[in-house]
Structure 1
Amino acid sequence: MLTVFFVPLVFINIGAIASPWLLFASYITSGIGMAGIGMGIIHDAIHGSYSKNQKVNKYLGYTMNLIGANATVWKIQHNVLHHTYTNIEGADDDINAPFFLRFSPHAKKNALHRFQHWYVWFFYGISTISWVTAKDFVRLARYRKMGYLNKKNEFRDEVMKIIGWKLLYYSYALIIPLLMVPLAPWIIILAFLSMHFVTGLLISSIFQVAHIMPDMEFPLPDKDGVVEGDWFAHQLATTTNFAPRSRFFSWLIGGLNYQIEHHLLPNICHVHYKKISNIVAETAREYGMPYNTKRTFVSAIRDHVSVLRKLGKLQTIVVRQ
């Protein structure tokens, strides 16, 4: 995946590409590689499960910074908030959407939401360009207010690191190509954006399909901030697998089609998910707990769309304690 991402960019940076179509093809190929790095390398590394050697995990986690995002922000957003509070409105950052998207029945509804199953794909596509520009700074500031990054100078140091890594990323991904590629700047910028659109669409689809699906629960805490049930039962009630028989697809997306296994056992590398999935499924059945799975990714996307449509029509659910 590192090769798929970097090799096309090397050819772009040395000015070896002069055709608009070849430029777009190169950037889009890099976009596939970027998504692969995110799902197959970074995801495991920041969970501490890529290698038994935590130094290997640490340095491979920095590949997130190398592609324009930030490992510290992702660790809080994903490892802490998403994995602890899956599908809980206001706590799980994966469903805390802007006003024009509604991923939870407890979120406030507006007239735009009735069309979200049509336009959500555009916003999935632009999600990573937002990520590598402003989102990391916005989230870092919010996480500081939430009590994270409270060591002396930790917030300031992280801001400086984000700025430095993003300057490096934009230098090799856009600025040098603008200087080296003998094409109009607007063509190069559009090709760069196409890379991010492919990456955003792939990553957002994979992560959102795992939780915004039929039969998924969206529990809320009681007045004391306690969610009913235990954490393992919560993960089974809020997560689904998809396309479990496709080995190539599973490799391509870093095993994230086995989301149940990942959420229950996030410290296990994704290469083992398929082997343990039968044990997890049998145990869930033994104790009368849900084990949600979709046969194909296409059927999962179809069900995801149906939920988005339903959320666009459904009135906000008010839970009174």
Structure 2
Amino acid sequence: MVLKTFFMMSLFFIPLLTLASGSINSVWLLFLLYILSGLGMAGIGMCVMHDAIHGSYSKNKTINTLLGYSLNMIGANATVWKIQHNILHHTYTNIEHADDDLNAPFFLRFCPHAKHYWVHQFQHIYIWFFYSLSTVSWITTKDFVRLKHFRGKGFLSKKNEYNKAFASMTGWKLLYYLYALVLPMIMLPFSWGLILVAFLSMHFITGLLISVVFQIAHIMPTNEFPLPDSEGEMNNNWYAHQFATTTNFSPKSKILFWLIGGLNYQIEHHILPDVCHVHYKDLTKIVSETALEFGMPYHVKKSFFHAVKDHTKMLRSLGKKEMA
């Protein structure tokens, strides 16, 4: 974990520091450095902050807290992520209106219980563009919208908690824009428009990578989208629910496992979120055999590309009105 953290942090910061130093005068190098930084950004998100905010990076809570702020350094916000991901997504996986990952603009439909619009029939085509925009939305408006939304749901209810979170978020985002965009615009001999396009290319790659990795774990044909009964209760216990709503992919790829923080073992992560991802591969045999013993599903796609293909099929099915 320490080696991976150093690698991903370096991959993110070294290109940006090079850009901020004003030491390059090549357009192709401008884009290359931003794209490399985008890969580092995705690596920090999947390999460092994800474990840290779950409290599974280290036994030391202070280390987890500090490394959780790596999310703030890449333009997002640890406070919002903890509510949206740790609490809502992990507790209410694939439950409409409860799992915040299913909440989407009207032109995207991630759940068979969501309202259908005619435009959804094309979502399996245009979804990739919006996946690419996801971190651009994240660093601009999405965190602020979610922070206000979560306050309305009863979070951040302590005195001044919301105001402090809002101020902290604003400060972190301004700092991120300063070193990732403003300094390169000041120091480099290129037009601000060209630098902005290069900056956005970084986020297009990061957004696409992160969105696809997380989405192919849950928006799949084999996964369930259960609803609570009339009293708001779920039929399954929590562990059975996680098996029914989650899918692994590419279990034999050691390279992918290392690069994406073990998120190809989403089942192991969902039932053991407080375990560091470096252990998922060793746990999979125990978890899969336990699922078989108790008659629970254990969904696995043999490769990343098979998972993306099935995810696309699911998006296409969700775009059909008869699923409404």
TM range (shorter): over 0.9
Tell me the residue number matched to 1:234. Answer: 241
The correspondence for 1:120, drawn from 102, 114, 127, is: 127
Please report the TM-score for the alignment, with normalisation by the length of structure 2.
0.97
Q: Given that residues 109 and 315 in structure 1 are in contact (C-alpha distance below 8 angstroms), is that contact kept between their aligned partners in structure 2?
A: no
5 Å-filtered alignment, 1:281-320, equals 281-315=288-322, 317=324
Q: Secondary structure at the match of 2:102?
A: coil
Question: Unmatched 5+ residue regions in structure 2?
Answer: 1-7
RMSD: 0.7
Distance in 1 (alpha carbons) for counterparts of 2:136 and 2:207: 8
5 Å-filtered alignment, 1:1-321, equals 1-315=8-322, 317=324
Distance in 2 (alpha carbons) for counterparts of 1:18 and 1:101: 41
Q: Secondary structure at the match of 1:117?
A: helix
Q: Deviations for 1:297-317, whole angstroms, at most 9, x for unmatched residues?
A: 000000000000000014354
Please report the TM-score for the alignment, with normalisation by the length of structure 1.
0.98
Aligned-pair identity in percent equals 62
Distance in 2 (alpha carbons) for counterparts of 1:219 and 1:44: 27
Q: Given that residues 242 and 296 in structure 1 are in contact (C-alpha distance below 8 angstroms), is that contact kept between their aligned partners in structure 2?
A: yes
Q: Secondary structure at the match of 2:300?
A: strand
Aligned length: 317
Distance in 2 (alpha carbons) for counterparts of 1:261 and 1:17: 44
Q: Given that residues 317 and 323 in structure 2 are in contact (C-alpha distance below 8 angstroms), is that contact kept between their aligned partners in structure 1?
A: no
Q: Given that residues 40 and 254 in structure 1 are in contact (C-alpha distance below 8 angstroms), is that contact kept between their aligned partners in structure 2?
A: yes
Question: Unmatched 5+ residue regions in structure 1?
Answer: none
Distance in 2 (alpha carbons) for counterparts of 1:23 and 1:157: 36
Q: Secondary structure at the match of 1:99?
A: coil
Distance in 1 (alpha carbons) for counterparts of 2:40 and 2:278: 18
Question: Runs (4+) of structure 1 moved beyond 6 Å?
Answer: none
Q: Given that residues 209 and 304 in structure 1 are in contact (C-alpha distance below 8 angstroms), is that contact kept between their aligned partners in structure 2?
A: yes
Q: Secondary structure at the match of 2:248?
A: strand
Distance in 1 (alpha carbons) for counterparts of 2:134 and 2:263: 19
